[in-house]
Amino acid sequence: MSSLREYQNEALAALYKSWTNGKRRIGVSLPTGTGKTHIMAHLGNRDLIALAGSRKSIMYLVHRDTLIDQTTAKLRATLPAGTSIGVVKAERNQTAAQVIVASVHTLRSEKRRAQLPEIGLCVVDEAHVSVSPTYKAVFDHIGAMHERGPRMAGFSATWSRSDTTGLGDVWEEVVYSKTIKWATRNGHLVTPRGIRIGKGVQLDDVKVSRMTGDYSEADLEEVVMLEEIREAVVSGVLRHRGERPGALFAPTVASAEWFRAGLEEAGIRTAGFYGKTGKTERRIADAGIRDGSIQMLTTCTAIAEGYDNPQLALGVLCRPTKHEGLFVQMVGRFLRPWPGKTDALLLDAVGTTDEVKLRNAIDLDVTRETADGREILPPADEPEAKERTVRLRKRGDVEIELFAGTSVQWLTSYGVPFVSCGDKLVFIVEGPNGWNIGQAYSFLDQRGKPQGAWVAEGLAQEDALATASDIAEDLGAHLARRSSRWRSGPPTPKQLDTAVKWGVTVPEDATKGHASDILSTVMYGPVLRQFAAWSDAQKVTV
């Protein structure tokens, strides 16, 4: 049985501690390539002992066929010899096993769900997709949503969604998390480098689907299938690829095949890897990448989740997205270490990196509801797309800073570091398991209570500051920035009047920005001081 790394043991300990404290449905957030499946397997190993004699089974719930085989293989390598491991998928229905690896799509059938044994622990892979009606039907059937139901552990690199459905509908808490920056800094993943190649596209007129919250894939197909972009992709790959095995992400199969044709014409050996690709073809493509007979894969999202080939070192982005989770999943395919692999190179041909950042945000909001309690759902049919003008932005090959520094203005009040974002505050406080990120309105409610929520918990100090800065950046135009032009010059009469009202002294030589900072630390104190009990101002420098 292979051993666990220190952080993997910490993740297991956090899960059991939270279950002991009464939580039932909890999660772990770790970047792709840091061994989530390894932790999941060891979790099952521990629970085999806990559930011995109870006649309850452990169920691993996955949503892709490739994950069925990967998870089963990892369990066979980790669990004690003689442990019965069954698969529930299509014609396979091995429900009498101690450990069951089940396809959520197979369990869409009420008849198949009825054949499951009593479940003592449900482990959910890629938990960010686990709030669909299909998953919820499984959770309801096994009793997981009830107070005394089976324990649940969810694992994902991206605890966020782009649509209106909230992960908080199912999951109570993410009890352990590490960021991509932490993983690269500690040598668990290779460092990503980004280069913009050729020309990008403007997406102002591209429709955003109300179903997904992301760009319409059909519209993106039209936008990216321009000869200028394909030429930039081919020439960029020829310039920068070297000996790196790679993969290209496009919005649709048609567009991926279109780029593939251009790469093949330039002498770059490729293979398509899509959701519809058969098992035999997948095995041939994967083997070809590993032995060098194939140089590039072209795909949509088939390898964005669950595909494990650490030799991949070149990613070509031809798929714009507004969803940071999808971006992180795509990039994560290239960050796994491999002998001789020093970094991962990303070639951005369409401006994907303009809109999303490489981080691990955690969002456990619940689905928004109307006043009568009904879920806000998208309409059944999307309106017809209006005519679009596709404009190209001229741009040469430019290095991208994927872990860009922050320009936000951090302040401290009652020992709590915070950033002012108009009517909202983003702040960090130190908890028993690391630094936590919170987001709250800058005013108290009628009962004198703050209105907000935790965004991420248990981070290292540096990761908390970087991630909180990114979150503040996303909140928009009212963000306090160190470099803003308005910060120069003397304080305004309104600032001075406000200072008098609040009993604040503004130094004679203060600038407008300095006066604003002083006022902010006082005005937002009533909100932040309610979090001060978890903060130690001596342990953070901003």
Q: Taken in order 511, 513, 516, 520, is the CA torsion positive or negative?
A: negative
Pairing of strands 85-89, 314-317: unpaired
pLDDT of residue 475: 65
pLDDT of residue 399: 66
pLDDT of residue 258: 96
C-alpha–C-alpha distance, residues 191 and 482, integer Å: 28
pLDDT of residue 435: 82
Read off the pLDDT of residues 150-208 as tens digits, 9 standing for 90 and up.
999 999 887 876 565 678 888 888 888 888 888 888 889 998 888 888 667 777 778 88
pLDDT of residue 27: 92
C-alpha–C-alpha distance, residues 20 and 36, integer Å: 22
- As to burial, measured by CB atoms within 10 angstroms (0-12 exposed, 13-18 middle, 19+ buried), residue 478 is exposed
Report angle CA 210, 215, 220 to the nearest 5 degrees.
140
Q: Taken in order 203, 207, 210, 212, is the CA torsion positive or negative?
A: negative
Structure tokens at 501: 């009202």
The three-class DSSP label of residue 132 is coil
- As to burial, measured by CB atoms within 10 angstroms (0-12 exposed, 13-18 middle, 19+ buried), residue 436 is buried
pLDDT of residue 360: 59
CB-based contacts of 408, cutoff 8 Å, min separation 6? 419, 469, 472, 473, 479, 480, 481, 482
Choose which CATH entry (3.40.50.300, 3.40.50.1100, 3.40.50.80, 2.30.30.30) describes domain 6-178: 3.40.50.300
Strands ordered across the beta sheet of 25-29: 92-93, 85-89, 99-103, 57-62, 119-125, 151-156, 25-29, 173-177
The values of phi and psi at residue 140, to 5°, are -65, -40
C-alpha–C-alpha distance, residues 534 and 16, integer Å: 23
Place of tokens 């140089």: 295
pLDDT of residue 388: 35
Q: Is 477:421 a contact under the CB 8 Å cutoff?
A: no
Residue range(s) occupied by CATH 3.40.50.300 in the chain: 6-178, 191-400
DSSP-assigned beta bridge partners for residue 296: 246, 270
DSSP-assigned beta bridge partners for residue 257: none
C-alpha–C-alpha distance, residues 290 and 288, integer Å: 5
pLDDT of residue 85: 93
C-alpha–C-alpha distance, residues 317 and 347, integer Å: 6
Residues of the chain with pLDDT under 50: 1, 368-396, 477, 535-542
C-alpha–C-alpha distance, residues 97 and 93, integer Å: 10
Read off the pLDDT of residues 262-293 as tens digits, 9 standing for 90 and up.
999 999 999 999 888 888 888 899 899 999 99
Q: Which of 62, 71, 17 is nearest to 39 (CA)?
A: 71
Report angle CA 164, 303, 75 to the nearest 5 degrees.
95
Cα 217 from chain centre:
20
Read off the pLDDT of residues 201-212 as tens digits, 9 standing for 90 and up.
777 778 887 767
Q: Is 60:75 a contact under the CB 8 Å cutoff?
A: yes
C-alpha–C-alpha distance, residues 286 and 292, integer Å: 10
Structure tokens at 308: 């494990």
Termini Cα distance of the chain: 43
Pairing of strands 99-103, 25-29: unpaired
pLDDT of residue 482: 55
Q: Is 18:457 a contact under the CB 8 Å cutoff?
A: no
Size of the chain in residues: 542
The values of phi and psi at residue 177, to 5°, are -150, 145
Q: Taken in order 167, 168, 169, 172, is the CA torsion positive or negative?
A: positive
CATH for 191-400 is: 3.40.50.300
